């Protein structure tokens, strides 16, 4: 439902044209919306709004020239008015998105609250996501392009950092190569952190991209990464194939990997790239879980240093993120039950649970529960715990320093949650 057939907005801009680019990553606007903007030099630009995404809008001027304008350059009230005109007001996700956009603009908090309230009124399951957006406001806004030195606090330089090529351009060239090699045509959605390629429809691409952005917000909050900081080298690439055969062909051709049971994979390169591949499963809910899980691994890979996080903890973080982003209770309750049943059958935690190596399906619920136990003692402690591991400290030592726990203590604490208070491994 659009209330306005034609809207004229006069908006003052702090910074004007970002780029003249193809319509990549923009949602089309089908209603005619006229926009007048006044730039810093007092110049008025008039045009038609033809597309938008959570970062920017496209304005086609009277000469037919397209211009990209960042929402961040507008006053909050103008953003609110224009966004409502272009979005689908019956879609709670769009209200949530507006809340997030306003939340990132100085002085936009009150209007953001209105939008978030609307989102939750339409869909009560969005409460958690709306809360997260509100909570993140307190965090200092970090500039997007940090100086090389300060960036190291959050992410790491790849070993080929001396290569002058723009990493995003390289990501795009790689995707073009994939499309050509597999004989596919991709729709692409680009966000601040992701390049999402799919041979599904563009509409579906937007749905999935939205989840990825939520995932990024959530896991960066968990790891204490300030708002706006991109930990990826370039952007994380996500390929969602319509068919399993296409996914398998990609894995075989580019990673020399034969797919069997896998539905999604996150390739974490030593040179810093993160490339996620998956295919459209019948079970949409499950697909969302696996995509967010894999994407969370990608962020952990890029966080602070290339040091690997021990598998039980890495899996726990990925499960925690997916469960929080999706607000699905049932699948995670079930995973915990599967783990608890497995432990009850054998009377102990797997002896090699905390070691590196394969991680069987029955272990995911335990790893999630253990991460929850640690997080109950406060997020700042958890951030320090992970940072120390990323600095190269053995995880057992960091667990001792930060939580005053041994792996056996953690096992017992976990045992208490499944009715086995003396649980051993």
Q: Which is nearer to Zn ion, 315 or 388 (CB)?
A: 315
Judged by CB under 5 A, how many residues of this single chain contact Zn ion?
2
Tell which positions 137-196 bind Zn ion, by CB under 5 A: none
Stretch 288-317: interaction string toward Zn ion, x if CB under 5 A: ---------------------------x--
Residue 195 CA to its chain's centroid (Å): 11
Which tokens in the block code for residue 128? 């958690």
Closest distance between Zn ion and the C-beta of residue 294, in Å?
7
| Inter-CA distances, 263 with 240, 282, 283, 359, Å | 10, 11, 11, 16
Least distance in angstroms from the C-beta of 128 to Zn ion: 22
Q: Which is nearer to Zn ion, 231 or 368 (CB)?
A: 368
d(CA 362, CA 356): 16
Q: How far is the CB of 372 from Zn ion (least distance, A)?
A: 17
For residues 225 and 231, is the Cβ–Cβ distance under 8 A?
Answer: yes
Q: How far is the CB of 266 from Zn ion (least distance, A)?
A: 7
Q: Measured from the CB atom, is 58 or 315 closer to Zn ion?
A: 315
User: Which candidate, 105, 103, 29, places its Cα nearest to that of 66?
Assistant: 29
34 contacts 46 by C-beta, under 8 angstroms: yes
Three-state secondary structure of the chain:
CCCCCCCEEEEECCCCCCCCCCCCCCEECCCCCEEEEECCCCCEEEEEEEEECCCEEEEEECCCCEEEEEHHHCCHHHHHHHHHHHCCCCCHHHHHHHHHHHHCCCCCHHHHHHHHHHHHHHCHHHHHHHHHHHHHCCCCCCCCCCCHHHHCCCCCCCCCCCCCCCHHHHHHHHHHHHHHHHCCCCEEEECCCEEEEECCCHHHHHHHHHHHHHHHHHHHHHHCCCCCCCCCCCCEEEEEECCHHHHHHHHHHHHCCCCCCCCEEEEECCCCCEEEEEECCCCHHHHHHHHHHHHHHHHHHHCCCCCCCCHHHHHHHHHHHHHHHHCCCHHHHHHHHHHHHHHHHHCCCCCCCCCCCCCCHHHHHHHHHHHHHHHCCCHHHHHHHHHHHHCCCCHHHHHHHHHCCCHHHHHHHHHHHCCCCCCCC
The nearer residue to Zn ion, 171 or 294, going by C-beta atoms, is 294
Least Å from the CB of residue 315 to Zn ion: 5
Least spacing, CB of residue 293 vs Zn ion, in Å:
5
Kindly tell me which of 13 and 290 has the beta carbon lying closer to Zn ion.
Answer: 290
Rounded to the nearest whole angstrom, what is the least distance from the CB of residue 157 to Zn ion in the complex? Answer: 25
Give least dist CB 245 to Zn ion, A: 23
Please, which residue, 156 or 364, has the CB nearer to Zn ion? 364
CB of 297 to Zn ion, least distance (A): 6
Q: State the number of CA atoms in the 13 A half-sphere of 316 facing the CB.
A: 22
The count of other CB atoms within 10 Å of the CB of residue 400 is 15
Q: For Zn ion, which is the closer residue by CB, 206 or 359?
A: 359
Q: State which residue, 273 or 315, has the beta carbon closest to Zn ion.
A: 315
Cβ nearer to Zn ion, comparing 318 with 326 = 318
Instruction: Tell which positions 315-374 bind Zn ion, by CB under 5 A.
Output: 315, 318
Q: How far is the CB of 269 from Zn ion (least distance, A)?
A: 17
The dihedrals phi and psi of 257, each to the nearest 5 degrees, come to: -125, 130
Nearer to Zn ion, 48 or 269 (CB): 269
Question: Judged by CB, which is closer to Zn ion: 118, or 315?
Answer: 315
Least Cβ distance, residue 319 to Zn ion (angstroms):
8
Q: Which residues of this protein are in contact with Zn ion, per CB under 5 A?
A: 315, 318
């Amino acid at each position: 439902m659009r209330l306005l057939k034609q809207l004229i907005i006069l908006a003052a801009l702090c910074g004007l044209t970002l780029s003249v680019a193809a319509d990549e990553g923009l949602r089309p606007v089908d209603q005619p919306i006229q926009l007048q903007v006044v730039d810093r030099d007092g110049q008025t630009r008039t045009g038609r709004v033809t597309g938008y995404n959570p970062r920017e809008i496209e304005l086609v001027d009277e000469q037919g020239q397209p211009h990209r304008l960042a929402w961040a350059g507008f006053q909050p009230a103008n953003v609110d008015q224009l966004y409502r005109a272009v979005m689908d007001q019956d879609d709670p996700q769009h209200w949530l998105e507006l809340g997030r956009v306003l939340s990132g603009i100085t002085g936009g908090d009150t209007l953001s609250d209105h939008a978030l309230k609307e989102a939750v009124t339409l869909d009560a399951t969005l409460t958690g996501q709306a809360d997260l957006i509100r909570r993140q406001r307190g965090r200092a806004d970090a500039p997007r392009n940090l100086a090389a030195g300060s960036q190291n606090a959050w992410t790491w330089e790849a070993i080929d950092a001396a290569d002058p090529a723009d990493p995003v351009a390289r990501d795009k060239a790689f995707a073009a190569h994939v499309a050509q090699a597999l004989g596919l045509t991709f729709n692409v959605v680009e966000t601040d952190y992701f390049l999402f390629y799919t041979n599904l429809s563009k509409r579906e691409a937007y749905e999935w991209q939205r989840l990825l952005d939520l995932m990024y917000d959530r896991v960066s909050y968990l790891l204490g990464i300030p708002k706006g900081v991109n930990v990826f080298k370039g952007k994380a690439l996500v390929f969602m194939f319509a068919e399993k055969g296409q996914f398998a062909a990609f894995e075989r051709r580019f990673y020399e990997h034969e797919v069997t049971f896998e539905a999604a994979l996150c390739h974490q390169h030593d040179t810093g790239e993160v490339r996620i591949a998956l295919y459209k499963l019948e079970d949409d809910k499950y697909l969302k879980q696996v995509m967010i899980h894999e994407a969370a691994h990608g962020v952990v890979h890029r966080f602070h240093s290339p040091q690997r996080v021990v598998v039980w903890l890495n899996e726990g973080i990925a499960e925690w993120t997916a469960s929080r982003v999706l607000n699905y209770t049932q699948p995670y309750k079930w995973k915990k039950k599967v783990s608890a049943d497995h432990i009850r059958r054998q009377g102990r935690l797997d002896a090699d649970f905390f070691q590196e190596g394969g991680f069987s399906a029955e272990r995911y619920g335990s790893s999630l529960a253990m991460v929850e136990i640690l997080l109950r003692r406060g997020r700042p402690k958890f951030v320090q715990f992970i940072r120390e591991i990323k600095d190269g400290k053995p995880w057992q030592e960091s667990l001792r320093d930060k939580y005053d726990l041994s792996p056996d203590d953690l096992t017992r604490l976990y045992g208490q949650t499944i009715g086995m208070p003396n649980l051993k491994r």
